[in-house]
Amino acid sequence: MLLVLSAMPEEIEALRPRLDGVRISAVAGREVLHGTLAGAPVALAFARWGKVAAASTTAQLILRERPWGVIFTGIAGALQDGLEPGDLVVARELYQHDLDASPFYAPTVVPLLGRAALPTDAPLSAGLLAAAERWRDEDPQTAPRRIVHADVATGDQVIGTRQARERVRQRVPTAACVEMEGAAVAQVCEEFGLPFACLRMISDRADERLTPDEVFALARRSGAGAGEILTRGLSAPAARP
C-alpha cells in the first residue's frame, strides 16, 4: 500500500474521485481514505499544516498502515526565477530553512542526523517525473508547462513578502520552491527507512499574499494534477514493489 499525504483538504477532495472502493477510517483525529488508484492500493490523508502536524500524521499512519512508500503533494511558492503558477516541482532534496541548532550544528542541519539535505527516493521520484512528462505529452492543455526536479525548502511560516523570500533563498540557495511540510515528512520517512517522494505545484512567487479563496482554488488544482500523475505513475508495472 502507498501512503499519499496532502498539505490541504481541498487536494484530498480533488483526489478522491480517482479512488475506487473507498473506505474511511480515522486515527488521531485524522480521516484516512482507503481504496485503489489505477489498480494500486493507496491510503489518502490530509497531513495538516506545518512541520509538527505533518510529521505526527506521517508517523501515525506509517505505524498503522505499514505502507511501502510515502508521497507528499501540495502547493508551494516559487523561489527560482522562471517558475510560474501551475508549474511542477518534483523534489530532489528537502531542507528545513528555519532550523537552526547553533552552536551545536550549522543552520539547517538536522540534529543527530548531522546533515541538512533530506533526499527523496530516486526510483520513486523518477517514476513521478516520467508520469508528469507523460501527462504533458498526452494532454498539453492541462499539464504543467514546466516540470523540474529540484530542491525544496520547508519552514513553519507562510512566505509572502520579498524580504521573507530572500531570507529563504539565502538559507537554501538551491531550492526551487518553499512550503511548510515536506522536509518534516522526509525526515520521518528516513527514520522509518521508507521511500519518499514529494510533488509541489507552484502557486505564486512567495512574495505576495494570496486570498484564502485563491489558495483553496490552487489546492484543488494541485490535487487534480496529483491525480493525473498518480494515475499514470501507479499504472506502470515498475511503480509497484
- Identify whether 204 is a catalytic site residue: yes
Contact 202, 86 (CB under 8 A): yes
Cell matching residue 128: 513521478
Of the listed 93, 121, 204, 228, which one is catalytic?
204
Of the listed 11, 98, 151, 179, which one is catalytic?
11
Cell matching residue 12: 484530498
- Identify whether 11 is a catalytic site residue: yes
CB atoms < 10 A from the CB of 100, how many? 13
Helices marked H in 40-177: 51-65, 122-138, 162-171
Distance CA 73, CA 15 (A): 11
Distance CA 146, CA 202 (A): 10
Contact 176, 150 (CB under 8 A): yes
Catalytic residue numbers read: 11, 204
